[in-house]
């Protein structure tokens, strides 16, 4: 990790580079992604199985793509009771949080006209759960439970196949979360299958969940053919710490994201330079002995920056400029700063809110916008699984009150058919 202070010439360029981190994301892989998607659209299951063998090194027959109920039951025997209890505990808390997000159908009267909106769930949702470097049962819970709460009837999970079968933690989590179909298919070919549909995997209306650069690019390229939640990139964390923060706690928090992936990014914004140096020393010490030390060390070495600024107000300005996926405020009175934070996927407030509590059991969703897209994207929520349709009902009496204004506006825009559709009710 490098330290840059507000007086350094490199401060502004470094901050601008961090803030622009997601702009070109995916462009380098668009060509191969497009080739795979086109092949899946044309070839269906055959193309999916061909790419599965090519990229995942697993040869499947068409009838092996779907996970059977027997396999799900068997998965429970491969995990410990206390692990299942932990998954159910997390699931209950996630469900309780997302129940509070419900938006109701509502209507009101405007004279004799009735106006409002009706909220309906999406029919079918695809949940993508990454494989590869780690196993993510927590992501299964976070992605599928809000769909269940929203009332989605068909929840389809795709995850890359493993030579020994689908990880039992994923299967148990999917069962707890209410997933209705599970397929051992991953990568771009899974996204294509969910979007276009194949003989085995019926198409869905929306695809949610994180993935690598190829998966994220596939989602972005298919937007319009299918709905998506967001275009997620590598995990990120920004810690804003005042001089009262404990360096050991800050260092430990900063290492939560780098162990995900070599491309993960973390930043620290603080006021005392001495504090920054102490944190860096502790990061180095805490890296040693981590199970995923090599991965975390690469991430920290490549992307991590410490910004030292004179005041906490300036620290908040830097945080807004970066628009991080996770933002920790390790400060006195963190709620005093809440209204000033404009861009963050999730906020962790205070000295005793480690990122891990939100990742697993607090209840709020951990599928969050990355790459500075927190400026316009939100955390995954029940709203990603519902649609809002407007309701308009006019009586003849109420239409007569507004028709003259309606006709004039239609005439301004040169749409006489619009005008006549109103006039015809009174001719």
Does the pLDDT at position 90 exceed 80? yes
Task: Verify whether residue 326 is a known catalytic residue.
Answer: yes
Domains 2-23+234-362 and 27-104+118-228 share a fold: yes
If DSSP states are collapsed to H, E and C, what string results for the chain?
A: CEEEECCCCCHHHHHHHHHCCCCCCCHHHHHHHHHHHHHHHHHCHHHHHHHHHHHHCCCCCHHHCECCHHHHHHHHHHCCHHHHHHHHHHHHHHHHHHHCCCCCCEEEEECCEEEEEEEEECCEEEEECCCCCCCCHHHHHHHHHHHHHHCCCEEEEECCCCCCCCCHHHHHHHHHHCCCEEECCCHHHHHHHHHHCCCCCCCCCEEECCCCHHHHHHHHHHECCEEECCCCCCCEEEEEECCCCCHHHHHHHHCCCCCCCCCCEEEEEECCHHHHHHHHHHHHHHHCCCCCHHHHHHHHHHHCEEEECCCHHHHHHHHHHHCCCEEEEECCCHHHHHHHCCCCCEEEECCCCCHHHHHHCCCCCCCCCCCCHHHCCCCCCHHHHEEEEEEEECCHHHHHHHHHHHHHHHHHCCCHHHHHHHHHHHC
Of the candidates 98, 249, 260, 326, the residue annotated as catalytic is: 326
At residue 164, the pLDDT reads: 78
Confidence band, pLDDT 50/70/90 cuts, at residue 94 = very high
At residue 26, the pLDDT reads: 65
pLDDT digit string, tens, across residues 190-227: 999 999 999 999 999 999 999 888 999 999 999 999 99
Task: Verify whether residue 325 is a known catalytic residue.
Answer: yes
pLDDT digit string, tens, across residues 124-162: 999 999 987 788 999 999 999 999 999 999 999 999 998
Domain 27-104+118-228 has CATH 3.40.50.1980: yes
Q: What is the pTM of this model?
A: 0.94
pLDDT digit string, tens, across residues 310-344: 999 999 999 999 999 999 999 999 999 999 999 99
Of the candidates 95, 325, 343, 366, the residue annotated as catalytic is: 325
Domain ranges within the chain, ordered by starting residue: 2-23+234-362, 27-104+118-228, 395-426
At residue 242, the pLDDT reads: 94
pLDDT digit string, tens, across residues 359-384: 999 999 999 999 999 999 999 999 99
What kind of fold does domain 2-23+234-362 have according to CATH? Answer: Rossmann fold (3.40.50)
Does the pLDDT at position 27 exceed 80? no
Q: To the nearest whole percent, how much of the chain has pLDDT over 90? A: 92
pLDDT digit string, tens, across residues 249-308: 999 999 999 998 898 999 999 998 999 999 999 999 999 989 999 999 999 998 899 999
Work out the mean pLDDT of the chain and round it to a whole number.
95
Does the pLDDT at position 409 exceed 70? yes
């Amino acid at each position: 990790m490098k330290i840059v202070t507000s007086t350094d010439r490199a401060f502004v360029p470094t901050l601008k580079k961090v803030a622009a981190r997601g702009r070109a994301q995916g462009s380098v892989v668009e060509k191969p992604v497009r080739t795979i998607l086109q092949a899946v659209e044309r070839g269906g299951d055959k193309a999916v199985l061909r790419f599965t063998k090519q990229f995942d090194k697993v040869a499947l027959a068409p009838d092996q793509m779907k996970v059977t109920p027997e396999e799900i039951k068997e998965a429970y025997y491969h995990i410990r009771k206390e692990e299942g209890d932990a998954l159910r505990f997390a699931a209950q808390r996630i469900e309780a949080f997302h129940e509070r997000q419900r938006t109701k159908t509502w209507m009101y009267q405007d004279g004799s006209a009735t106006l409002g909106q009706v909220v309906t769930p999406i029919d079918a949702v695809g949940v993508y759960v990454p494989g590869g470097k780690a196993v993510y049962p927590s992501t299964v819970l976070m992605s599928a439970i809000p769909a269940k709460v929203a009332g989605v009837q068909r929840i389809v999970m795709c995850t890359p196949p493993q030579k020994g079968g689908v990880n039992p933690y994923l299967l148990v989590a999917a069962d707890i979360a209410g997933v209705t179909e599970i397929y051992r298919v991953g990568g771009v070919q899974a996204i294509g299958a969910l979007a276009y549909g194949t003989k085995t995997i019926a198409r869905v209306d929306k695809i949610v969940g994180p993935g690598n650069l190829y998966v994220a690019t596939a989602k972005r390229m298919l937007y319009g053919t299918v709905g998506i939640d967001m275009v997620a990139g590598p995990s990120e964390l920004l810690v804003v710490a005042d001089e009262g923060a404990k360096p050991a706690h800050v260092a430990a928090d900063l290492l939560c994201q780098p162990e995900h992936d070599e491309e993960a990014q973390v930043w620290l914004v603080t006021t005392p330079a001495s504090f920054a140096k102490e944190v860096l020393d502790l990061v180095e010490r805490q890296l040693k002995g981590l199970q995923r030390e090599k991965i975390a060390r690469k991430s920290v070495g490549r992307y991590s920056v410490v910004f030292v600024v004179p005041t906490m107000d300036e620290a908040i300005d830097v945080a807004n400029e970066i628009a991080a996926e996770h933002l920790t405020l390790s400060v006195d009175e963190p709620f005093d700063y809440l209204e000033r934070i404009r861009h963050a996927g999730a906020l962790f407030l205070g000295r005793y809110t480690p990122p891990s509590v939100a990742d697993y059991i607090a209840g709020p969703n951990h599928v969050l916008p990355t790459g500075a897209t927190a400026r316009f994207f939100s955390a995954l929520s029940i709203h990603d699984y519902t649609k809002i349709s407007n309701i308009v009902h006019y009586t003849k009496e109420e239409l007569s009150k507004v028709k003259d204004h309606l006709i004039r506006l239609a005439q301004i825009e040169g749409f006489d058919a619009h005008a006549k559709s109103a006039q015809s009710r009174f001719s």
